[in-house]
Structure 1
């Protein structure tokens, strides 16, 4: 009878004993998680370092293209300085220059915020000019489109993408200009909002105003000469294409520089995280080894 009771108690207690996790199971699971996270962070570090290297290689090419593109902008400024007009432009449009790519810090948010300040008439707007809150907006790049469509979706007239995947060309600027003119939105001047290249580690939002055909005709500099209508129209379209090309090349250089800096910071953060996780892993592993040694020594002492 006593043997049967002992057998029954042993049978009831057996499942709990068999199902119980080992003493170091929690520690082993934690070490495994840390090991997997270490592997993930190391892979991310390899990617960010590669992207930084690629951006550094592209930056020199982008800066050369920017310096060439700026010559077009200088020619525009020279024309508009000699074609000043006191009459205000009634119809204006805003052209926002960004890109479709991310992983480059807050460079797209920079032009988005500048556009919002411009529409709100803020004193820190990138250019001093009168712009109504319902001014039509044309956007180059999906990133700024996604940001501006939430707050100023009613102002959007046309968006462009797949521009700036490589170094922008004058053909890209000409295509954008042609579609803006064919959109049917009347304008006397166009305000181009873009990122201005300051140095390899900094940039700032800027804006430039390009006069349209009507504003050029009414300027004193053009009234002094007898010119055909087609000449003024072609000059206005060419000036807008010049300004867009100059802004595209400068914004592209800013984007490449910002991406290089962002990937550099990401690589440094990954390195710091790897060091922290490695120390945490070593401490956990040492604790697990110590616990096992204690169990072994305790068992040996008991025997």
Structure 2
């Protein structure tokens, strides 16, 4: 009785739904299922990276606090001596980034800050720490780059690494009046912005307003300058490393949330498509049964 009552409607549905459309539904269902598996795998990766970054962040913050203490104490001498950059002097800009990505726009912030400085002093030379900023600045300011360092940011920076970088910089043929180190300044776990610290030449240190209050001999002044630059680079690298770990954790957290939203949307689409396929198959079965009964 049900077959006879539903026969006219079923025949119209069967005429409207053809075999190619059914095949397309099957193909779409497989595509959605493949996409779901891919997004779920990505979510697992981003969740794992977020956990790893969270465990590294506490250690990076402790190292940053220690380096900040040494760096600020070292610069106290120049603050009390009222040492200031020389206008029109030869300037070297040190950009502190790293080789690693997947941490938002933290390296782009350094690049933008360096470009703003180059607008003020277009003849300044560049020393770049890390491949990320080097790749970005190499497209716009390649003529300013005099030295670059790779393999930066793989682990927590050490003073020995900073000292090695400072020694390489002092081996450059030019004698710079002002050395400005640009780095990411750690504000909080979700806030960081570009900052800068200056290092000075011996002549500028001697010409400071209150330099005579410190009874520093010329031989000691050379050591003070080298130590101050190494300490400043160490401070900048440690701050930048903590910012990078924090930014990576936030980026992976956002990526995991976005992956979860995509999984929910594709799961709903998959369920609807599968229901449409099942409904089509039921229509074919009922239509076939009705046709068999007529024959």
TM-score computed with the length of structure 1 as normaliser: 0.87
Counting matched residue pairs gives 274
Supply the distance in 2 between the matched residues of 1:41 and 1:262 (Cα, whole angstroms). 16
Q: Give 1:114 shift.
A: 0.7
2:155 counterpart of 1:156: no
Aligned pairs for 1:66-81 within 5 A: 66-81=64-79
**CA-based RMSD:** 1.6
Query: Offset of 1:85 from its aligned partner?
Result: 4.3
Aligned-pair distance for 1:92? 1.3
Provide the C-alpha distance between the structure 2 equivalents of 1:95 and 1:86, rounded to a whole number of angstroms. Answer: 18
Secondary structure at 1:52 match in 2:
helix
Give the Å deviation of 1:224: 4.8
Give the 3-state SS of the residue equivalent to 2:198 in structure 1. Answer: strand
Deviation at 1:208, TM superposition (A): 1.4
183, 186, 192: which one aligns with 2:181: 192
Deviation of 1:81 after TM superposition, in Å, equals 1.1
Q: Distance in 2 between matches of 1:155 and 1:256?
A: 29
Structure 1 residues 300 and 52, CA, compared in 2 at 3 Å: closer, same or farther? same
Distance 1:204 1:218, change over 3 A: same
Cα separation, 1, equivalents of 2:164 and 2:25 = 62
Query: For residues 222 and 21 of structure 2, what CA distance do their matches in structure 1 show?
Result: 84
Which of 220, 234, 255 is the equivalent residue of 2:244? 255
Maintained 8 Å contact 1:163/1:172: no
Q: Distance in 1 between matches of 2:192 and 2:84?
A: 32
| Runs of at least 5 residues in structure 1 that lack an aligned partner in the other structure | 1-19, 122-131
Q: CA deviation at 1:228?
A: 3.2
Which residue in the other structure is 1:42 paired with? 40
Instruction: Please state whether the residue corresponding to 1:248 is helix, strand or coil.
Output: helix
Change (3 A) 1:155 1:301: same
Distance in 2 (CA, whole Å) between partners of 1:301 and 1:31 is 28
Q: Deviations over 1:234-284 (max 9, x none)?
A: 100100111111111000000000000000000000000000011100000
Which residue of 48, 60, 64 maps to 1:62?
Answer: 60
Give the CA deviation at 1:230: 1.9
Aligned to 2:26: 28
For residues 176-234 of structure 1, give each alpha carbon's deviation from its aligned partner in whole angstroms, at most 9, with x where no partner exists. 10000012222012101110101101111111112122211222333456543221111
Q: Distance in 1 between matches of 2:37 and 2:85?
A: 65
SS of 1:220 mapped into structure 2: coil
